[in-house]
Structure 1
Amino acid sequence: MSRTNRERTEATRLALIEAARALFVSKGYGDTSTPEIAVAAGITRGALYHHFTDKRDLFRQVLLREEEAVAADIEAAAPEQLTPRQALLDGSEAYLTAMTVPGRTRLLLIDGPAVLGHAEMMAMDDATSANSLRQGLARAGLGKGAVSLDTLARLLSAAFDRAALEIDGGADAKEIRSAMQWLLVQALGPEKKR
């Protein structure tokens, strides 16, 4: 059965994104060229520029795909039937696990901000995993009163990112995960009796 133009277009875009991801992880953004990406994807350089404005645009799409995957893992770990407290705790574990996918920490927390800038990465994060955290905090009743929900979410998100960097750098993952769980429990306060 022949594929439609739309299916061919999506297959080409996906091949480029996957080839670019592999090269960005192994060589870094700066040392990866668009001809290399095209060759790795089995596509002409012209086709690459048909689908993406430039290498930076392709990199942005790689990062967006990574951000969406992290958010999906968090959402899967924190279904609606869990208590808000348990959803936050399970979601935090899911984030740290999702960030152990090889290359993901480098892409999202090191190269992403260096290439796209802090503001663009924050906007991307706010639309995906940071949004999950903000919603979880709101469901748990945090941010009502003396602490701004947005500020708390940004600071906790930064702590999670730092934890992911620590784990990626070889720190004791169990110790880091335990510290992040403790931090969340402190933010949540005492568990309310039913």
Structure 2
Amino acid sequence: MQLPNPPRSPRSNRERTEATRHALLEAARPLFVGKGYGDTSTPEVSVAAGTTRGALYHHFVDKRDLFRHVLQREAEAVRNDIIAATPAGLSAHEALIAGGEAYLQAMAVPGRTRLLLLEGPAVLGLAEIAAIDESNAAETLHAGLAAAIGRDEEVSIDALSKLLSAAFDRAALEIDAGGDPEVVKAAMLWLVQRTLGKGDKTVRKR
């Protein structure tokens, strides 16, 4: 005799909370990308997420807070892609090149450049968006430069990291604006090679 399947355990409050939060973030992203922050309303996000406006304000203080969390997820995704592309077996120089390529590829995800490099600074301000970056992609770049160059050189790793980070962001913007991805990537990695004082053996002219 076949016993009936046991009833499924109801989802815990925590699981329901996480599911609602995830749905709101997933619904908000395409709206912020497609319409921009200013033209996106919280009722729109709630409807797209299949929940209530009250639920949105239970999870996020306001629209700006929701936007901040969307950007945080995007920045973490970029960081994760960089880490995945730089396994422990690579040399410090190889890791910088691989990480740079991974950054540009990660930023090519539709809407990501607009969110992190255009809308983000305009809505959150330069200081807040810099803090998000510094705990994600910029942190990996800083660590990579410190490993490749060392801390006894006559250059500030902090300053160099910020300058190269700005160059990578500009490269991502150039690609997003329609520039040839391969040409831009080759130029950016050429710059990294020259910064490391290495011959152009990794980056081939295209």
The equivalent of 2:204 in structure 1 is none
Equivalence map 1:3-82=2 (5 Å): 3-82=11-90
Question: Aligned to 1:60, what secondary structure does the other structure show?
Answer: helix
Match of 2:190 among 159, 162, 182: 182
Structure 1 spans left out of the alignment, 5+ residues = none
Q: Which has the larger radius of gyration?
A: 2
- State the shift of 1:146 in Å: 1.6
Cα RMSD for the two superposed structures: 0.9
The equivalent of 1:121 in structure 2 is 129
Moved over 6 A (4+): none
Question: Aligned to 2:61, what secondary structure does the other structure show?
Answer: coil
The equivalent of 1:98 in structure 2 is 106
Match of 1:166 among 162, 174, 185: 174
- State the shift of 1:143 in Å: 4.9
Residues 19 and 41, structure 1, Cα contact 8 Å, conserved in 2: yes
Residues 73 and 95, structure 1, Cα contact 8 Å, conserved in 2: yes
TM-score of the superposition, structure 2-length normalised? 0.91
Q: Deviations over 1:103-152 (max 9, x none)?
A: 00000000000000000000110000000000011111245322100100
Asked if 1:154 is matched to 2:162, the reply is: yes
For residue 106 of structure 1, what is the amino acid of its counterpart? Answer: R
- State the shift of 1:79 in Å: 1.1
Residues 143 and 152, structure 1, Cα contact 8 Å, conserved in 2: no
Distance (whole Å) between structure 2 residues aligned to residue 98 and residue 182 of structure 1: 19
Distance (whole Å) between structure 2 residues aligned to residue 128 and residue 52 of structure 1: 22
For residue 89 of structure 1, what is the amino acid of its counterpart? Answer: I
Residues 64 and 124, structure 1, Cα contact 8 Å, conserved in 2: yes
For residue 124 of structure 1, what is the amino acid of its counterpart? Answer: I
For residue 174 of structure 2, what is the amino acid of its counterpart? Answer: E
Structure 2 spans left out of the alignment, 5+ residues = 1-7, 200-206
- State the shift of 1:80 in Å: 1.4
Distance (whole Å) between structure 2 residues aligned to residue 138 and residue 160 of structure 1: 17
TM-score of the superposition, structure 1-length normalised? 0.96
Distance (whole Å) between structure 1 residues aligned to residue 131 and residue 198 of structure 2: 32
Q: How many residues align?
A: 191
Q: What is the aligned-residue identity percentage?
A: 64
For residue 127 of structure 2, what is the amino acid of its counterpart? Answer: A
Residues 74 and 129, structure 1, Cα contact 8 Å, conserved in 2: yes
